[in-house]
Amino acid sequence: MYESFYGFKEKPFNLLPDPEYLYMSPGHENAYAHLEYAIMENKGFVVITGEIGSGKTTLINFLLEKIPHDIQVGIINNADVSPLQFIKMMCQEFELDVSTRDKAEMLDLFNRFLLEQFARKNRVVLIIDEAQNLPHKTIEEIRMLSNLESEKHHLLQIILVGQPELRYKLKSRGLAQFAQRVTVHCHLDALTGSEVEKYIHHRLKVAGAKQLDIFDKGAIEAISKYSQGIPRVINTLCDTALVYGYADDLKIINKKIIDNVFETREIGGIFSDYSESDREVQPAVISENGALKQLENRIHAMEKRAILLESMVANVEQQFSVFINSRGKMDSLAIELFKMLKQSMASRGKLTAKYIQLKLETERNRSGIVEGKKKTKGSIFSRQKSNGE
């Protein structure tokens, strides 16, 4: 939608792991060097870890584009499976028929496949993404696969890619034998402040931008702060900011827009810290106290206003669909739609914040009344006891 407005050939901040957009930061270069070394030297078990959204899958896709043709590659993305399910998925990745076979037969079939590839001077690499989800028993089954080897060469090379939890899991005592067989390990860190700016400029350049200063210095600093250097979060912030800028007819994205994007999404719970106390908000108990009753009425009124805002947005969307075939009105109506959506999101965010504040205030007042009753009962009991004595 905003591509032509900013002069892009395509959206520069898509969340898809497109290797064409891979920015080789020093951390990514280091991780890729480890992968390249492990592949070339046919190292057995390789472990690559990194924070959520740090670009691990994009790096793997980049590796697949560079990998030699004499290497057979299989990829497993769903790692939360039992040992039997894993073996079946592994065989299916290499197009082996396992429809009517038990575990022993599947392992025998896979072993014969490895020997055939070795005889043809082909190598076999299995990549397991999201490997932090692997159950302990499945990891042990994967370790046993390393026994499928010749006298001097690994018949199968396994690369585990996952979040930092994978490192902690492999440190457990029950997986000590597996950890000892890991020959190459690398951790992918978040981007630094200067790398965030280079990352943004890199993606803008790949997308065909003629001007790389679309995000000013203040905006980039805000993006670095809010994203904490995680590429996926950077993409989300930048893409949304470009939509806001397009709706407001702004060619340059400044810090104010980034702050607005972050605040709006934080109110919705996307970027906000998630604490144990936020998991469940208990409904306030209706009290006979007039002040509490008044607060509850205000909460209900805000809920109605939120529903009204949603209805207004729905009406605008309906109007947009009616005029979608009118090219002359399409652009102006789209801009108005995004302006109204932006205002609606901001209003709903403020309403949500007030709603939560009032609920907490109601809960505190209710707790105060209950506590007062407890103290009253306690004082009566103390007086009764004193009189009895």
Domain membership of residue 138 (yes or no) is: yes
Per-residue pLDDT of 202-212, as tens digits, reads: 999 999 998 89
CATH number, domain of 115, equals 3.40.50.300
The token pair that represents 134 in the structure block: 């692997």
Model pLDDT, residue 99? 83
Neighbours of 137 (CB within 10 A): 13
CB 113 within 8 A of CB 94: yes
**Based on the structure, what is the number of domains in the chain?**
2
Q: Do residues 183 and 293 share a domain?
A: no
Model pLDDT, residue 108? 92
Domain membership of residue 324 (yes or no) is: yes
Domain membership of residue 72 (yes or no) is: yes
- Three-class SS state of 187: strand
Model pLDDT, residue 87? 94
Domain membership of residue 120 (yes or no) is: yes
CA pair distance 355, 349, nearest whole angstrom: 10
Q: Do residues 182 and 295 share a domain?
A: no
Domain membership of residue 276 (yes or no) is: no
Model pLDDT, residue 373? 53
Last residue of a domain, one of 165, 188, 211: 188
Last residue of a domain, one of 150, 168, 188: 188
Q: Do residues 38 and 163 share a domain?
A: yes
Model pLDDT, residue 196? 96
Per-residue pLDDT of 235-290, as tens digits, reads: 999 999 999 999 889 999 999 999 999 988 765 555 654 333 333 333 333 344 45
Domain membership of residue 180 (yes or no) is: yes
Q: Do residues 161 and 294 share a domain?
A: no
**Residue 165 corresponds to which amino acid?**
E
Model pLDDT, residue 238? 95
Containing domain of residue 336, as a range?
A: 289-389
CA pair distance 213, 192, nearest whole angstrom: 19
CB 210 within 8 A of CB 6: no
- Pick out the chain residues at pLDDT < 50: 273-289, 291, 304, 307-308, 311, 380-386, 388-389
First to last CA, the chain: 83
